[in-house]
């Protein structure tokens, strides 16, 4: 959720692709400032899912 603190390597969401569930981990620590997709919304490879403020 927006405002949550996350740490590098933490799983923040799960993406379903071809009936397989893939855990998505953060690349950096920080605070979630924006979530750019809705639950069950189709996404594209390389699409930004959320923004994390490292400060």
**What's the pTM value of the predicted model, to 2 decimals?**
0.77
pLDDT tens, N- to C-terminus, the chain (55 residues) = 999 999 999 999 999 988 999 999 999 999 999 999 999 899 999 999 999 999 8
Residue 38: predicted pLDDT: 93
Q: Are 17 and 42 spatial neighbours (Cβ–Cβ below 8 Å)?
A: no
Residue 55: predicted pLDDT: 82
């Amino acid at each position: 959720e927006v405002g949550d603190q996350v740490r590098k390597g933490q799983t923040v969401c799960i993406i379903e692709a071809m009936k397989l569930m893939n855990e998505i981990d953060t690349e950096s620590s920080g605070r979630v400032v924006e979530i750019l997709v809705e639950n069950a919304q189709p996404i594209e490879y390389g699409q930004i899912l959320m923004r994390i403020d490292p400060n």
